[in-house]
Amino acid sequence: MSINKKILCTVLMAVTSWSIMNARTFIEFKETSDIIAPTVLDSFLGNWQGVDGKELISVVSVTKNGLAKAVVSNPDPISVKKASIEEIAGVIPALLIDIEEEGKVVGQYSLILEDGALVGTFDDVKTGKSLDVIFKPSVLSSKFHS
């Protein structure tokens, strides 16, 4: 960790009421966003269709700090609370999409790029189940424009 990041960590912990865990999470996110190359972030952009034919994810934009704008449908539009690209296990860039209903997160997609596809899981908070999912590059569906 560079000297500036150590100073930032110390200042954040001293002037905020964050718990040590939250401060550590913030610092790890900052370090992660510095590591992920713009070309890697851009590789998540585009339209992705679930192999079941129903689910569609469109990653419209990604900022340099990993925040993303994503549209999800199954087949109707689904409310996205947050989308981001973060490193999991410290080295693997993953697209994380929080799905919400009535202001509460009800599920999360965790997807990595593998052989030209987005591969991962959908964790359903309501049922406690985790489903394996695969999304392949797709032409944009008209559902995204309705």
Point out the least confidently predicted range of 24-28, 90-94, 122-126.
24-28
Architecture of domain 38-140: Beta Barrel (2.40)
Section 73-97 average pLDDT? 91
Rounded to the nearest 10°, the torsion over CA 29, 31, 35, 41 is 20
Domain boundaries, the chain: 3-35, 38-140
Tell me which of 49 and 34 has the higher pLDDT: 49
**Which distant-in-sequence residues (6+ apart) come within 8 Å of 79 by Cβ?**
99, 100, 101
What pLDDT is recorded for position 34? 52
pTM: 0.71
pLDDT of 22 higher than 70? no
What DSSP state is assigned to residue 141? Answer: P
Q: Using an 8 Å Cβ cutoff, are 111 and 95 in contact? A: yes
More confidently predicted of 13 and 125:
125
